Amino acid sequence: MCGIVGYVGHRDCSDVLVKALTGLEYRGYDSAGIAVFENQKISVAKSKGKLKDLVDKMKVEGRPKGFAGIGHTRWATHGEPSDINSHPHSGAKVTLVHNGIIENYKELKEFLQKQGRVFLSDTDTEVAAQLLDYYYSHIKEPVKAIIETTQELKGSYALGIVFEDFPNRVFAVRRESPLIVGVGKSENFIASDVPAIIEYTKDYYLLEQDEIAILDENGVRVFDNHYQPVVKELKTADWDVDAVGKCGYPHYMIKEINEQPTAIKNTVTPRVKDGMPCLDECNINPEVLRKIKNIYIVACGSAMHSGMVGKYVIEEIARTAVTVDIASEFRYRNPIIGKGDLIIIVSQSGETADSLAAMRLAKEKGAKTLAIVNAMGSTIAREADMLIYTHAGPEISVASTKAYMVQLSVMYLFAFELAFAKGQIDEEKYKYYTAKLLETPEMVEKVIAQTTEISQKISMKLLTADSLLYIGRGLDYALSMEGSLKLKEISYIHSESYAAGELKHGTISLITKDMPVIAVATQSALYEKTVSNIKEVKARGAKVIMICQDGNDVPKDIADYVLKIPTFEEILLPMLVCVPLQLIAYYTSVQKGNDVDQPRNLAKSVTVE
């Protein structure tokens, strides 16, 4: 996600801002910029690339000199990484930096354009800047203008703001996206996170929802959104810089597991209009969808596993044939794909070599290409005919969790859109499914709370295993693939996912006493059959961990552990069940003392064959 910093004090502001931004580099970013008061004017320097690129650019073009200003590292969500899309963004008198997503930016942009305002970038942030400038031009008072503006903004934001008419003063306001106010000795800061300011001060205020801070030579003042002063409790960071980068979590992976509700919200909510999916911005319309004959979902690793879930969902409700393929296999098997077919490439990084090659091959053969990508402006994103960005924010841990989760959420959006376009579901069902999808952030929150402790307990029982099986049927089988990969890649314990109904055709010979078998049994239509398969492995001595719904009646003595998830719309259960599968893998790795975030032999993005 983006990083925000601000400074008012006695030091060289540009220097402080750049240094503070390096403390936020762990968040991942693709461009950076600063705005500094210089001779009563706001001077901006910004560029695509890393902070080093910004510093190099300032060496050539000049570095703003002053004692107050704001800075930003951007993780692109709206508008690809470029100089012009980098923050800060400005109106006539206002310049600001933003972390979050303005969900209603389109309507606001249309309104402002009707007022004659011209936009230079593709970002939602520039809309916020121009809207604030619009209100300030009428109200002439910065805090009142901020209050008016934020009442119109929908979505999440933390804003660092400077007004040209108020030199050497920095303003800040937040909703959803975190923002702190650092309190130093005759200098003050704003920042998205403590690492940005830890070199200067450990004392800070946590801005609460809709609170507005003013930093100037008199110190820090905080107001609520009724312009009433707020007395803040001063906190002192006792984390080391690295821990703070994880916001207090011991590892990025567990932080990213807990970020999943917000990631889903940021990915799904802006794509729902009047209770129905709206993918127009992704070049996806009913006309195009109606013409699709066959669908191929091609990806690697967890991304491919999200495609497996997508297959079951799309075939179930849109009645369109879906083939899921590992990208490194697809690209070398001379695939039968062509005009009228759609290939869906799923990739968190958007740079995976095999997935990119598969997309290019499909394009050469005349197929339409749709990319589901998390990294803005990545190669796969740029080359696809149609594109749906996921908004998980940067995923630092090598083991994918929140990116996989939001890939699932986009699979559902696409499946509902396709099914409705093809007349396979009516508007009522279309809205019902969409409403249920909108409930998933809250449901995932519940599952995290409900299954964290038992996942930790279960992980203790896996530590000495040589190998284990993950079994399931239908959607549960697709999920068991992801559970198995998660465990393997970070705990280094061998596991294999297996279709529960297929065990008896050979693999059941592997079952020995106390061999752990994780059985996913959430789909009612297949529940009895899966229970029979569980009994088969139990009878041969397996130690069974069963994952099912709260409402399921679990036969006595069938499982050594039963991990229950809340009852919910079954077709959406993969978004709930993946959480305990992630947690079991995480805690097993932690117990084994492995490097959870950087497991041996692995890279976050495999940009080579």
Binding site for ligand AGP (CB under 6 A): 300-303, 347-349, 352, 355, 398-400, 489, 605-606
**Sheet with 516-520: strands ordered across:** 494-499, 467-472, 516-520, 543-549, 561-565
CB of 390 to ligand AGP, least distance (A): 10
Q: If we measure between CA atoms, which residue out of 222, 219, 217, 218 comes closest to residue 206?
A: 222
CB of 487 to ligand AGP, least distance (A): 11
- Which region, left, alpha or beta, applies to residue 100 given φ > 0 means left and ψ of -120 to 50 means alpha? left
For every residue of 192-234, which 3-state class applies, written as one string? CCHHHCCCCCCEEEECCCCCEEEEECCEEEEECCCCCECCCCC
- In the set 2, 13, 548, 578, the catalytic residue is 2
**Nearest to ligand AGP of 256, 341 (CB atom):** 256
- Is there a contact between 586 and 254 (Cβ–Cβ < 8 Å)? yes
- Contacts of residue 172, defined as CB under 8 A and 6 or more positions apart, other chains included, come to 6, 158, 159, 160, 161, 179, 181, 190, 207, 212, 213, 215
What is the crossing angle of helices 574-591 and 402-421, to 10°?
Answer: 170
CB of 400 to ligand AGP, least distance (A): 4
**Nearest to ligand AGP of 90, 348 (CB atom):** 348
**Nearest to ligand AGP of 66, 483 (CB atom):** 483
Gap between the Cα atoms of 141 and 591, Å rounded: 56
- In the set 46, 255, 265, 604, the catalytic residue is 604
CB of 326 to ligand AGP, least distance (A): 10
In three-state secondary structure terms, 590 is: helix
CB of 609 to ligand AGP, least distance (A): 12
CB of 377 to ligand AGP, least distance (A): 14
Q: If we measure between CA atoms, which residue out of 53, 67, 26 comes closest to residue 198?
A: 26
**Nearest to ligand AGP of 157, 586 (CB atom):** 586
CB of 30 to ligand AGP, least distance (A): 15
β-pairing, 494-499 vs 467-472, is parallel
β-pairing, 386-389 vs 322-326, is unpaired
What is the crossing angle of helices 427-460 and 260-268, to 10°?
Answer: 160
**Nearest to ligand AGP of 149, 355 (CB atom):** 355
CB of 350 to ligand AGP, least distance (A): 7
- CA distances 111 to 71, 115, 127, 154, 271, Å, are 28, 7, 10, 15, 20
Gap between the Cα atoms of 215 and 172, Å rounded: 8
In three-state secondary structure terms, 394 is: coil
- Is there a contact between 129 and 91 (Cβ–Cβ < 8 Å)? yes
**Nearest to ligand AGP of 149, 378 (CB atom):** 378
**Nearest to ligand AGP of 348, 522 (CB atom):** 348
CB of 303 to ligand AGP, least distance (A): 4
**Nearest to ligand AGP of 18, 408 (CB atom):** 408
**Nearest to ligand AGP of 368, 402 (CB atom):** 402
Gap between the Cα atoms of 165 and 452, Å rounded: 51
Q: Please tell me whether the peptide bond between 88 and the residue prior to it is cis, using omega within 30 degrees of 0.
A: yes
For every residue of 254-298, which 3-state class applies, written as one string? HHHHHCHHHHHHHHHHHHEECCEECCHHHCCCHHHHHCCCCEEEE
> Is residue 2 flagged as an active site residue?
yes
In three-state secondary structure terms, 51 is: helix
- Contacts of residue 226, defined as CB under 8 A and 6 or more positions apart, other chains included, come to 147
CB atoms closer than 10 angstroms to residue 585? 30
Rounded to the nearest angstrom, the gap between the alpha carbon of residue 96 and the centroid of all alpha carbons in its chain is: 23
Q: If we measure between CA atoms, which residue out of 377, 136, 395 comes closest to residue 255?
A: 395
CB of 300 to ligand AGP, least distance (A): 4
Instruction: Give the gyration radius of the chain's Cα atoms.
Output: 25
In three-state secondary structure terms, 580 is: helix
Residue nearest to ligand AGP (CB): 301
CA angle 552, 557, 560 (to 5 degrees): 85
**Nearest to ligand AGP of 44, 399 (CB atom):** 399
Name the DSSP class of 502: G
**Nearest to ligand AGP of 468, 531 (CB atom):** 468
CB of 470 to ligand AGP, least distance (A): 15
Q: Kindly list the catalytic residues.
A: 2, 604
